[in-house]
Chain A
Amino acid sequence: MSTTAMPTNTKWWNGGRSPFNASYGKVMMWYFLMSDAFTFGAFLISYGTIRFSVNSWADPNQVFNAFPGFGHQNLPLAFVSLMTFILIFSSVTMVLAVHEGHKMNRKGVEKYMILTILGGLAFLGCQAWEWTHLLTGEHIAMLGDGSLSVVPTTVKMNPWGTHVAADAVAAALQSTPHDKLVEIASTLQHGGAAHDLTAKSAGELITAIQASPELHVTHTGPIAFGGYFFGITGFHGFHVFSGVVINVVMWAKTRLGHFDERGHYEMIEKAGLYWHFVDLVWVFVFLCFYLI
């Protein structure tokens, strides 16, 4: 290479010609996204490895079966479908913003950037609801010591193990302390009249609990479930959040006419690359956590 005749004044990206005939910023955005893909990929592969290494894993159709406003109805996949379509649609409005940018149509870019930002905020709102629902959920699970307890889904607790048979539940109730029996009975009544339950004896509570048609007890599942779920969806949610911030900045710069002054809307394209990447990652998060 050293012998190759090359004009001494050729400075790639700085006076000569771009190696890929694309701007420095755009190429570097692609390389950043490639490295980010490896980060997400490593997280998801680590999750897959742990999932492959245990005999049972939480069934996503049981974990993610709630929809805001529909109470305790069993609606598997419904809410996450809504989130997926929100993200696909905001990807479309982003690519339309880029399209308007090519045409130097400032008003069009502004309109589609606003729609993209709204889509991003809607997605974040959905994710906040879903996290809250899991973190405040009330599931009756058999703990390691053989007693029963009401637990949520957190990074330290996974109530989505295998089903506990009725005779094992009966035995476990005998070794469950009184305050936990009150909690369990209260959960089965959806929180109603907890103060009346405290006055009841353990025997009365156990009878009431076993009579409930909604009694469904599970073993605790692999503890890694919550850490992976909240870690990976949280990392993705952080990308969505930063994408929304970038899009707001791009919208403001469009509105102030900065890109018209420059003569091109390439910054919108670069922000768009990041935003589409967020949608791309969601395709795989959706696949790994919700579908399979």
Chain B
Amino acid sequence: MSEHAASSSEITFAHAPAEGTGRIWKVFWLLSAVTVIELVLGFGLAKHWYGDPATSHAMILFVKGVICILSLAKAFYIVSVFMHLGDEIRNMIMTIVVPLCLFLWFIGAFLWDGDSWKNLRNTNAGSRPAQTEQHHQPAVDKDAKK
């Protein structure tokens, strides 16, 4: 138990195995709790906010942003604890995390581009004012009456 067998003679360091499974279960409950919060927020988007004209577009975007941040938190715990990346030495962590920073540009640039396409299409490349077709779909229960 105390002696973690190294897989080869090249390796002189092994992160000490955890004494118990407490940390694993703690992260499990944390991931579950975050997922439940995400589901509540997602369900709120469905039942009360979509199709309700009183809900501002900014409010929906804010809730979606919160859900995105919660997902990033889940990703951090999975990588750091379940995949034990947090226990590796710093240089190895950096060779994996630094290239992933490309995503910052990748996501920003492409979503910006998608939004630009939409505006060009709606305004016929700027030659007429935007048609506000930004309608959310009404919820199912409202439609059933029609």
Contact = CB atoms under 8 A, between A and B. Distances in A.
A8 interface: no
Interface string A75-105: 0110001001100110110111011001110
Given A216-B143, A276-B78, A52 B115 contact: yes
Contact of A23 (B8, B28, B47): B8
B13 to A, nearest CB: 4
Nearest to B119: A53
Contact of B7 (A81, A264, A280): A264
A215 B146 CA distance: 8
Contacts of A4: none
How many interface residues does chain A have, given as a range?
35 or more
Nearest to A292: B64
Given A22-B92, A166-B146, A279-B78, A88 B32 contact: yes
Interface in B62-110: 64, 67-68, 71, 74-75, 78-79, 81-85, 88-89, 91-92, 95-96, 99-100, 102-103, 106-107, 110
Interface string A267-292: 00100110011011001101100111
A252 to B, nearest CB: 20
A227 to B, nearest CB: 16
A286 B71 CA distance: 9
A56 B102 CA distance: 29
Interface of A: 13-23, 25, 27, 30-31, 34, 37-38, 41-42, 45-46, 48-56, 59-62, 65, 74, 76-77, 81, 84-85, 88-89, 91-92, 94-96, 98-99, 102-104, 160, 162-163, 165-166, 213-216, 262-264, 266, 269, 272-273, 276-277, 279-280, 283-284, 286-287, 290-292
5 contacts: A18-B11, A34-B100, A62-B137, A99-B21, A264-B7
